[in-house]
Structure 1
Amino acid sequence: MLKNLRSKIDQITQQQEDKENVHSDELIRLKQCNIFRELDKNSEAIAKIYKLHKNRDISIRNLTIGGSEVNACIVFLIPIVNAEIIERSIIEPLLTNLDRNKEIEMLIVNQSIKKISTYKEVLLEVNKGNTVLFIDNCSIAFSMETAQVKARNIEKAETEVILKGPKEAFTENVADNISLIRKKFRTESLINESITVSKKNNDEVYILYLEDVVNEELLENVKKSLQSFEVDVIQNIGILEQYIEDREKSIFPTTLYTEKPDRAASFIQDGYIVLLMHSSPACLVLPATFWAFFHTPDEHYLRFLFGNFTRALRGMAIFIALFTSAIYISITNYHAQMIPPDLLLAISSTRERVPFPAFIEILIMEIAFELIREAGLRVPNPIGPTIGIVGALILGQAAVEANVISPLVIIVVALSGLSSFAVSDISFNFAIRIIRFIFIIAAGILGIYGMVVIFVMGLSYMVSIRSFGVPYLAPMTPRYKASQDTVFRKILQNERWRPGFLRPKDLEKKGDTT
């Protein structure tokens, strides 16, 4: 009895699967077809593809073109179109027309009208937010630009805070982002290309560059990288960044992520390539060297001395963040003879009742600092600062009073952690924080010698890294003809050269009146 029941259930399930497979194969064939001449067949095809019986987003509106009295229909996705544009520039001109000989392109009042002949093109246009017009007894359809995607207003940058210079930041609307860059260039040589990078979702990447400056070989290299993906969906620039990296497991980032249009524009002026995507409030700059992460967006807006002063402070902060905790472990565990006797006695007296060695102390406090930082980022904004204050003051003080951690370790870890905040780039900041733990472990094993070994290995590794063929430490090593904007920048009048490692068509920064 149970066997018969199970076999019947299996038969019903198999029949349902067969029907679904047949239906799926039919849709695949339909999507590869050309547009039918009959309006009814086109309406039926759209209804099948978009599951009109249960999909509330798709709209198929039938109408009759005035004058010629020819039946037609328009297809669009309701949530991502501007209904006012459709009504004013498409429906009203078609219904009120009186001239039977007038062509469609002359009737419709739209900024962009494109002829399409296949269902693959129809689906791409509709999914982008455009409206497609089908006409009876016509194997050509017309696509009109009607997209209206809701997005934030242009606001200040959140992660790249600057003191002087433009405050505007990218939004999730790629059209707004392109306009923010475009308005900084009063030249016809700024090119905006697009490449589809996903197979199923048809996600587009927009490539911006100066045609009379960019290196053609670099541009082709970037395009080949973007066209090499075999994925269904890439919906964000952060996901794209992981696909186009030369070394996916490298601790050092090789693409620059920025949310400031003025910074992106300055890179484009120098011959770099900028990538933009829908729903991404930032862009990628290619290629990226170490010095691009070391610099901040507002340094060239500051006067020469002020900008270099901030770079000196940042260089000092990176050194403190990387080496302070490791040096403390090395000296207290292996090289006590390097410390003056009075300081050694002071350190010994603070550690007299502490049960843990210096290595364990530092490791506990560094991990605690990272936990407090992560908690402060993830909790709601009103209580974020409270978490930091509670963690830093109350827990630190309690640990000292309980003789679990020595007071000097609190100072060392706090100095190291606070210094890491001087690095504004997110990816480079993560790299600094991770490398700090590597130095701590090396110092705990071999002291200063372990730190030197890791430092030499790290430098050797950085020299070997390339970003789209560009050496990571250029133009310091190897040296190229450039403005040498590395640790310190020059006076703006002396920065005459674009980066030579990019091999731009126009190496010298000069006005061109032709």
Structure 2
Amino acid sequence: MAFFKAAKKEQHNEKQPEALTKEMLFNVDRLKEAFSYPINHALQMRELYLPFYKKRLMAFSIEGTIDANIVDEHIIDPLLRNTGPSIEADANFVTTIMKSVLTTGNAKDISTFSDAIKDLLNGNTILIIDGEAKAISIDTAKFENRSVAEPSTETVIKGPKAAFIESVAINRSLLRKQLRDPNLMCEFAEIGEHAPQQVSIMYLKNIADPSIVEDVKKRLNKIRTDSIITLSTLEQHIEERPYSIIPSTLETERPDRTVAFLQEGHVVLLMENSPTALVVPITFWSLFHTVEDQYLRMAYGNFIRMIRFISLLLALFTPSFYIAVTTYHSEMIPTDLMLAITASRERIPFPIFFEILIMEVTFEILREAGVRVPNTLGTTIGIVGALILGQAAVQANLVSPILVIIVAITGLASFTIPDISMNIAVRMLRFTFLFVTFFLGFFGFSITLAFLIAYLVSIKSFGVPFLAPLSPHFPSSKDLLLRPPAWKQWLRPFSTSPKDKVRSPKPEGNAES
């Protein structure tokens, strides 16, 4: 271990940035070498001669990353047509070109090869000038992106229809469009040793807890890997409990939901190539709520929340509850129902546990198949496959009809869980309860539930308790299982330690209160 640490430290010390020189040909050869030119045809070069200044320069760019119109209109044409101003012998030629010749304001001077390579990969155009130890880097980036569309996983009937795309600049624009606040901060962190990627750290300066922001920055700075392409991979590097099935971060594809988190003091991470935003810290209520809960009137939103909460309990406990009752506690079932269940199982060769296990695994296979097959066939396979397999299994006396109903209700209930990470966690916990109740009945069910609740109370996400502000209790607007009217939600959750804890002055009441 000491050897690897020493080798890593030595390697880190050796990576000193190499400076550009005044010899243009040397600088050009170094850039060619860095991009394996001419084997690699991605590097594009154009040699120019400026007759007024009697200078030669080379323009470098990477194919597929630049806007050719910007390069021609704001860089090449001004350089070739320029007839002034004259430059004195002691003047800075690079600065004069940036300020007086180029017609774009997105230009800067760089002095190392590492900066030149990084800017080229980010879509900049680099000008190497003969006799100058500095180069000019102009922002000409134009990567291909799809247009802003509707959310595909977090759909709503009422509310905005825009969703994030794979362009981080457009994603930041979508956030600023909805949250026009000068306190909305955007800082950058670079991750990845060989293929660096930029992470945008966004938060509200007047609300977010500085300790949470610093914690996020420290975790990003500690990442040591070749490259991280998407937020989904980044999430696994900064999460607190990599072996836990309970998530400690949240991904959302909705800008309006992201803005709601920002206004409560959360920190948001954005990356190129990721059509989602990563939100930290989170609580159970972050995973349980949907954005539509706030768009609907209080009574409607609370009704949907109660349906979702009941569905969560059904998805988690129904199969294990059925096993515990029929196997160990049959006296809890009415006699007529017990006789009907027994009659339906007369010709079933398997115990109830294996019967449920077969159906649950089959349902999970159908669910996964519906996701992986083409969209035109996914719904057909899911519905027709479930009907055909369920009916065939009953007719073949492999499962009882009541079990098909139980598994179907459990599967449908799991689809109401809005967050995909929480959805998978509930499905995995369902199998845990299934095995425990098969061996220990309601006793094992109760012990496992107690351990689960104790675990949820004990864990934290970036220093925030997972069940806060319910347990431990923190002052809040009580937007938990049920929500109050919108005009009563004047207090931000104290669990995230926001600087400004009040959204607006406490209401004195309305006409009806």
**TM-score category by the smaller chain?**
over 0.9
Q: Deviations over 1:18-77 (max 9, x none)?
A: xxxxxxxxxx98983101111111111111111111111101211022421211111110
Does the CA-based 8 Å contact 1:43-1:60 persist in structure 2?
no
1:119 is aligned to 113
Q: 1:63 aligns with which of 40, 48, 58?
A: 48
Return 130-139 or 232-241, whichever deviates more. Answer: 130-139
Q: CA deviation at 1:183?
A: 1.0
- 1:322 is aligned to 316
Alpha carbons of 1:316 and 1:30: their partners in 2 closer, same or farther (altered >3 Å)? closer
- Report matched runs for 1:3-22 at 5 Å: none
Inter-CA distance 229–283: structure 2 relative to 1 (3 Å threshold): same
1:42 maps to 2:35: no
Instruction: Tell me which of 187, 192, 195 is aligned to 1:198.
Output: 192
User: Which of 190, 194, 210 is 2:204 aligned to?
Assistant: 210
- CA positional deviation for 1:269: 1.1
Separation of aligned partners in 2, 1:442 and 1:65: 80
RMSD over aligned Cα atoms: 1.3
Q: Which of 408, 426, 434 matches 1:440?
A: 434
Name the structure 1 match of 2:508. none
Larger displacement relative to structure 2 (381-390 or 298-307): 381-390
Q: Distance in 1 between matches of 2:146 and 2:221?
A: 30
Counterparts of 2:257 and 2:353, CA distance in 1: 41
Alignment partner of 1:73 is 2:73? no
2:295 match: secondary structure = coil
Q: Which residue of 2 aligns with 1:237?
A: 231
> Contact (CA 8 Å) 1:291, 1:486: kept in 2 or not?
yes
2:148 equivalent to 1:154? yes
Retained in 2: the 8 A contact 1:191–1:209? yes
In the alignment, what sits opposite 2:450? 456
CA 1:314 to 1:30, structure 2 compared with 1: closer, same or farther past 3 Å? closer
Q: What is aligned with 1:6?
A: none
In structure 1, list runs of 5 or more residues that go unmatched: 1-27
Residues 42 and 169 of structure 1, relative CA distance in 2, 3 Å threshold: same
1:445-490 per-residue CA deviation (whole Å, 9 max, x = no partner) reads 1111111111001011111111010000000011112112111111
Stretches (4+) displaced over 4 A? 28-31
Written as runs of structure 1 = structure 2, the 5 A alignment for 1:295-444 is: 295-444=289-438
Q: Which moved more, 1:184-193 or 1:216-225?
A: 184-193
Structure 1 contact 157–167 (Cα < 8 Å) conserved = yes
Change (3 A) 1:29 1:53: farther
Q: Distance in 2 between the 1:188 and 1:476 partners?
A: 32
**Partners in 2 of 1:422 and 1:505 — Cα distance?**
34
**Maintained 8 Å contact 1:294/1:423:** yes
What is the identity, as a one-letter code, of the residue corresponding to 2:490?
R
Partner of 1:140: 134
Distance in 1, Cα, partners of 2:228 & 2:419: 23
Distance 1:343 1:357 in 2: 19
- Aligned mate of 2:175, from 176, 181, 184: 181
Contact in 2 for aligned 1:213/1:505 (Cα 8 Å): yes
- The reply on whether 1:104 has 2:89 as its aligned counterpart is no
Contact 1:74 1:134 in 2 (8 A): yes
Q: Secondary structure at the match of 2:188?
A: strand
Aligned pair partner of 2:75 in 69, 74, 90: 90
The match for 1:479 is: 473
Could you say which residue in structure 2 is the equivalent of 1:510? 504
Quote the Cα distance in structure 1 between the aligned partners of 2:378 and 2:81. Answer: 59
Which residue of the partner structure matches residue 509 of structure 2? none
> Is the aligned partner of 1:54 residue 2:39?
yes
Helix, strand or coil: the match of 1:209? strand
Alignment check: 8 A CA contact 1:66 1:97 kept: no
Conserved in 2, the CA contact under 8 Å of 1:192 and 1:209? yes
Q: Deviations over 1:175-211 (max 9, x none)?
A: 1100000111222111111100111111111001111
Please say if residues 68 and 100 of structure 1, whose CA atoms lie closer than 8 Å, have aligned partners that are also in contact. no
Cα distance, 1:394 vs structure 2: 1.0
- Please give the per-residue CA displacement for 1:406-453, whole angstroms capped at 9, x wherever unaligned: 000000110011100001211010001101111111111111111111
Quick check: 1:242–1:248 contact (8 Å CA) kept in 2?
Answer: yes
Deviations 1:104-154 (A, max 9, x none): 122111231111111111111111110111111111111100011101100
Q: How far, CA to CA, are the matches of 1:111 and 1:502 in structure 2?
A: 40
Residue aligned with 2:348, SS: coil
CA distance in 1, matches of 2:318, 2:32: 66
> 8 Å contact 1:67–1:100 — kept in the other structure?
no
Separation in 1, partners of 2:54, 2:264: 57
Q: Are 1:66 and 1:96, in contact at CA under 8 Å, matched by a contact in 2?
A: no
Determine helix, strand or coil for the equivalent of 2:108.
strand
Task: Give deviations 1:366-396, integer Å, cap 9, x for gaps.
Answer: 0010001101110111111221123211111
Query: Which one of 272, 282, 287 corresponds to residue 281 of structure 2?
Result: 287
Q: Distance in 2 between matches of 1:426 and 1:378?
A: 16
- For 2:253, give the aligned amino acid: E
- Which residue number corresponds to residue 463 of structure 2? 469
Distance (Å, rounded) in 1 between the aligned partners of 2:180 and 2:378: 43
Equivalent residue for 1:271, pick from 262, 265, 280: 265
- Structure 1 residues 312-343: Cα deviation after superposition (integer angstroms, max 9, x where no partner): 00000011111111111111110011111111
Name the residue aligned to 1:20: none
Query: Partner of 2:178: helix, strand, or coil?
Result: coil
Alignment of 1:20-31 (within 5 A): none
Secondary structure in 2 aligned to 1:171? coil
Which whole-Å CA distance do the structure 2 matches of 1:257 and 1:48 have between them? 40
CA distance in 2, matches of 1:253, 1:174: 24
State the AA in 1 paired with 2:457.
V
Tell me the distance in 1 between the aligned counterparts of 2:14 and 2:438. 65
Question: SS at 2:185's partner residue?
Answer: strand
Indicate the residue corresponding to 1:15 in structure 2: none
The alignment status of 1:246 with 2:240, answered yes or no, reads yes
Residue 501 (structure 1) aligned with residue 486 (structure 2): no
SS of the residue aligned with 1:62?
strand
Letter in 2 for 1:91: I
Deviation (angstroms), 1:100:
4.5
TM-score of the two chains, using structure 2 as the length reference: 0.93
Distance in 2, Cα, partners of 1:108 & 1:37:
21
Could you tell me which runs of 5 or more consecutive residues in structure 2 were left unpaired when the two chains were aligned.
1-12, 88-95, 506-513
CA distance in 2, matches of 1:66, 1:200: 40
